[in-house]
Amino acid sequence: MDLNNLLKKYADLIIKTGINVQPGQTIILYADVDQAPLARLIVEAAYAAKANEVILKWNDPIIQRQYLQNTSVDRLQHPYEFEKVAAKELMDKHASRISLLSASPEALNGIDPQRIHISQTAQSKVKQPVTKATMNNDISWLVVAGASLEWAQKVYPNLSNQEALNKLWESILTISRVTLDEPNRAWQEHIKFLNQRAKWLNDYQFDALHYRSDQTDLTIGLPENHLWEGAGSNDKAGNFFVPNIPTEEVFTAPDYRRIDGVVAATYPLSNNGQLITNIKLTFKDGHVIKATADQGADFLNQLIKTDVGASSLGEIALVPEDSPIAKTKTIFYNTLFDENASDHLALGAAYPFSIQNGTNMDANQLKEVGLNQSEIHVDFMIGSNKMNIDGITKDGQKIPIMRNGNWV
Ligand code: ZN
Ligand code: ZN
């Protein structure tokens, strides 16, 4: 594997197919410090595509950990004013946003969940303009990953350090279609395929979906005029971008008031550096009334209490068991990868573009049509080769969508 050459192709894919940089644009790149080599290549590719400026925001999970452990609660609660000003200023400029992730799935393991929760709540207020612009697709944005040693050790515990790191890079690049001759072209075909699936679901306009497996029996209502989407979206300026690399899902928003039954996660969930395993949720009239987990139950229950919407759902996504990621039979302990190997749901906010005309609605209007509002959006994986999903039409017909985890 010629890693350097592949990373160049990866950077090119990120800039062209991912955020689709336009001449004169400002880009913010959030990157973990161990990704400096890839970050530099992304910056190079961005300027080659005539970006005006790339702003780097480095994150070091080890320093983040020390901060969360040691700083005062007052400091956790009160971010600096200049952070708010910066977030707003960048969004006024319509800056595109790239998040390059590589942190260990358990980077913040052992830290008081309450402190993480306080910090996260305060940070989400600071980042509100960015989150809003992202959820609304006002700007083009992208989440991608790079391999780090700590992450690789978790995914491949039986390999030596160097072997594990190489193997994780190889997986990321293969799954993201970077190892193909022309990644940008391969992505065009992939996007076409996902759009066909989305169209099939849109034409049906199901009233609800019913999920059944050995551990799950859940009915999820769908709002009128909901839109299924796959792979990519247009930003406000009308430029097509792909917000996740990799992506294998088609997704829409549920009606947050009509969710009933039990659902079990089939993958562990790493959220904010905390690992949560064997999640089980019981829903009644749209909200979680019981949440359990083997590891991380406290953190999960904190998360659900973030606000009213945090105990309901904002996204339902379908991913077949024969997706290239699922076929690796690997648990990546990273939502970007695991969610694209498995049907998933998200606790928290819905994307306004999941319903017709949603991006022109305000929060109250969105709520009225059934789109959940929250400060959080946390995906968790529920798919398996035992999952069967039916679409229920308005006149009560049941149409099979998935059997044993694959498209019918
Ligand atoms: Zn999703
Ligand atoms: Zn999601």
Q: What is the pLDDT of residues 89-137, one digit of tens each?
A: 999 999 999 999 998 888 888 899 889 989 988 998 898 899 889 888 8
Ligand 1 centroid from CA 90, angstroms: 26
pLDDT value at position 117? 87
Ligand 2 centroid from CA 244, angstroms: 10
CB 402 within 8 A of CB 220: no
**Regions of the chain short of the pLDDT cut 50:** none
DSSP 342-380: S-EEEEEPPPGGGBTTGGGS-HHHHHHTT----S-EEEE
- Angstrom CA distances, 79 to 37, 73, 74, 372, stand at 30, 11, 9, 27
Residue 316 pairs in a beta bridge with 252, 345
Q: Integer distance in angstroms from the first to the last C-alpha of the chain?
A: 37
Structure tokens at 262: 């039990």
pLDDT tens profile 194-222: 999 999 999 999 999 999 999 999 999 99
Domains and CATH numbers, the chain: 3-175 (3.40.1830.10), 204-231+248-407 (no CATH)
pLDDT value at position 272? 85
Q: Is 137 left (phi over 0), alpha (psi -120 to 50) or beta?
A: left
Ligand 2 centroid from CA 159, angstroms: 31
Ligand 1 centroid from CA 256, angstroms: 16
CB 316 within 8 A of CB 209: yes
pLDDT value at position 261? 98
Residue with tokens 């979906």: 209
pLDDT value at position 385? 95
pLDDT value at position 78? 94
246: preceding bond cis by omega (within 30 degrees) = yes
Task: Give the contacts of 39 (CB within 8 A, at least 6 positions apart).
Answer: 29, 31, 56, 100
Ligand 1 centroid from CA 71, angstroms: 34
pLDDT value at position 273? 85
